[in-house]
């Protein structure tokens, strides 16, 4: 029977913690490494709904992309939503692991998966990490990805391709309809800070999940497109894929993505224009 430590070893190999951003909180966040594991649930964000699902299912481990205990806490009590959730999970002996930005930046992590999904060629790293691994010839270490489309697209055509690939009905974007695109930068989640990295790599567009208003203005000033299909849309599919990868590695376990998790944002598409 597998235990938490064995699952952790696999996750560390899949998404090395040294790839995580300095501000992040990755790894085993609660739980006993020696605890046996029969069932795992993956999710984008560990919410009370997902925790209740895991407890009801008898899960032993939750792999949540977004970390719990992201900021230092001085108290864990039932008087706060996060505190009550943590106490419930601890009482149910459910461990929690978060790969977060280490999975974003892994060699076959979220940003690579998005680039591959869009059929990009000549995939490279937007923001490389300088490390000894580079001297040994290892490639694709660092944050963000960029790549070349197999043919030139206009911005509306690329928007349509991304909607189909990510299975979303709508998205937000910055840019002119006649913008011609051959190279794309990719940074999942909320990562418009990669805009200038993408510009330096001669990308005509940056794909990320969401962005602040001033980042949209910056994209326009640079003459770049910015495509925003949503935070959930750019990251949740990778947690479903993680469940499949884990199931292949640990076939004796019951593993699946949360069925309760949904995107909290909704779009009202029936409003008539003024």
199 annotated as belonging to a binding site for a ligand: no
Among residues 99, 94, 194, 189, the alpha carbon closest in space to that of 143 is found at 194
pLDDT band at 231 (very low <50, low <70, confident <90, very high): very high
Q: Taking the model in full, what pTM does it have?
A: 0.92
Residue that wins the pLDDT comparison between 71 and 60: 60
Asked whether residue 50 is domain-assigned, the answer is yes
Whether residue 125 contacts residue 103, with contact meaning beta carbons closer than 8 Å, is answered with no
Domain end among 37, 70, 102: 102
Asked whether residue 244 is domain-assigned, the answer is no
Asked whether residue 173 is domain-assigned, the answer is yes
Is the C-alpha dihedral spanning 228, 229, 230, 231 positive or negative?
negative
201 annotated as belonging to a binding site for a ligand: no
Does residue 140 register a pLDDT over 60?
no
Whether residue 166 contacts residue 132, with contact meaning beta carbons closer than 8 Å, is answered with no
90: CATH: 3.40.1390.30
Average pLDDT over residues 224-238: 98
pLDDT in tens, 73-117: 788 999 999 999 999 999 999 999 999 999 999 999 999 999 999
Number of domains composing the chain: 2
- Note the pLDDT of residue 267: 78
State the DSSP code for 116.
H
214 annotated as belonging to a binding site for a ligand: no
pLDDT in tens, 172-209: 999 999 999 999 999 999 999 999 999 999 999 999 99
138 annotated as belonging to a binding site for a ligand: no
Residue 25 lies in domain: 4-102
Same structural domain, 115 and 225: yes
């Amino acid at each position: 029977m597998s235990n938490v430590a064995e699952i952790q070893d696999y996750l560390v190999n899949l998404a090395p913690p040294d790839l995580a951003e300095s501000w992040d909180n990755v790894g085993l966040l609660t739980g006993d490494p020696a605890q046996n594991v029969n069932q795992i649930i993956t999710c984008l964000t560990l919410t009370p709904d997902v925790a209740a699902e895991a407890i009801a299912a008898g899960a032993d481990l939750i792999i949540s992309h977004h970390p719990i205990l992201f900021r230092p806490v001085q108290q864990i009590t039932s008087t706060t939503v996060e505190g009550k959730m943590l106490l419930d999970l601890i009482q149910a002996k459910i461990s929690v692991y978060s790969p977060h930005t280490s999975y974003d930046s892994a060699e076959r992590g979220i940003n690579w998966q998005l680039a591959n999904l869009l059929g990009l060629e000549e995939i490279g790293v937007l923001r490389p990490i300088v490390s000894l691994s580079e001297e040994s010839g290892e490639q694709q270490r660092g944050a963000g990805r960029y790549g070349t489309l197999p043919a030139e697209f206009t911005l509306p055509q690329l928007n349509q391709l991304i909607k189909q690939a990510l299975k979303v009905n709508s998205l937000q974007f910055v840019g002119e309809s006649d913008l011609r695109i051959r190279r794309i930068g990719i940074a999942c989640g909320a990562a418009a800070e990669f805009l200038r990295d993408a510009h330096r790599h001669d990308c005509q567009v940056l794909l990320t999940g969401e962005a602040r208003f001033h980042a949209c203005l910056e994209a326009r000033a640079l003459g770049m497109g910015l495509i925003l299909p949503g935070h959930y849309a750019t990251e949740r599919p990778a947690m479903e894929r993680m469940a499949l990868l884990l199931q292949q590695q640990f076939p004796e376990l019951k593993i699946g993505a949360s069925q309760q998790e949904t995107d909290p944002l909704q779009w009202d598409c029936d409003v008539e224009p003024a």
